Amino acid sequence: MDIRIGQGYDVHSLAEGLPMWLCGVRIESPTGFVAHSDGDVAIHALCDALLGAAALGDIGKHFPDNSDEWKGIDSKILLARVCEMLEDLGWSVGNADITIALQSPKLSPYIQTMRETLAEVMRTAVDRISVKATTTEHLGFVGRREGCEVWAVVTICK
Ligand code: MG
């Protein structure tokens, strides 16, 4: 069996009055992500991990943020497209592990829905998808509530 590992990283800044989407789930929050798409920084990191595992470049290569085609787009559509690209090459997802660093709000009430949402879009089992959240103890730009940082690691196999 051919097994590959990919990792992805993304950051988006926060601003008042914008929607906050993480892992395809709308989060109740007074601030949201500044972005060309819906700003789902977790899905963007996950897409980069999947693309990286298959050595297919990065999300900016496939969905350029200067193109009107992707303006305001639901990032779940991007994730579904990335999964299709991998499937076309014979890859299937082994597992994904995502770490979200956000000072507030608390994400624990959303974690299970996030896992289920991602698993559905990726057409895989929920027990292959892990989502974890942490604060940065008020340190750095995350701690100052200026932005959100996400790391994703995936394995794919064929
Ligand atoms: Mg992004």
CA neighbor of 54 nearest in space, from 90, 79, 78: 90
The two three-digit tokens of residue 49, written as one number: 């991990």
Cα(12) to ligand 1 centroid in Å equals 6
Paired tokens of 14: 């926060």
How far is the centre of ligand 1, averaged over its atoms, from the C-alpha of 47 (Å)?
10
Write down the pTM of the prediction. Answer: 0.96
Could you give phi then psi for residue 53, rounded to 5 degrees?
-60, -35
For the record, the structure tokens of 152 come out as 């994703």
- The single-letter code of the amino acid at 112 is Q
Question: Of the candidates 156, 9, 7, which has an alpha carbon nearest to the alpha carbon of residue 83?
Answer: 156
- Going by C-alpha positions, the residue among 23, 22, 19, 8 that lies closest to residue 117 is 23
What's residue 65's pLDDT?
78
- What pLDDT was estimated at residue 36? 83
Q: Which residues, in sequence order, are bridge partners of residue 8?
A: 152
Enumerate residues 6+ apart whose C-beta is below 8 A from 77: none
Q: Please list the residues that pair with 94 across neighbouring strands.
A: none
Q: For residue 97, what pLDDT is reported?
A: 98
CA 137 to chain centre: 22
Ligand 1 centroid–CA 135 distance in Å is: 19
d(CA 80, ligand 1 centre) in Å: 16
- Centre of ligand 1 to C-alpha 1, Å, is 32
Task: Flag residues of the chain having pLDDT under 50.
Answer: none
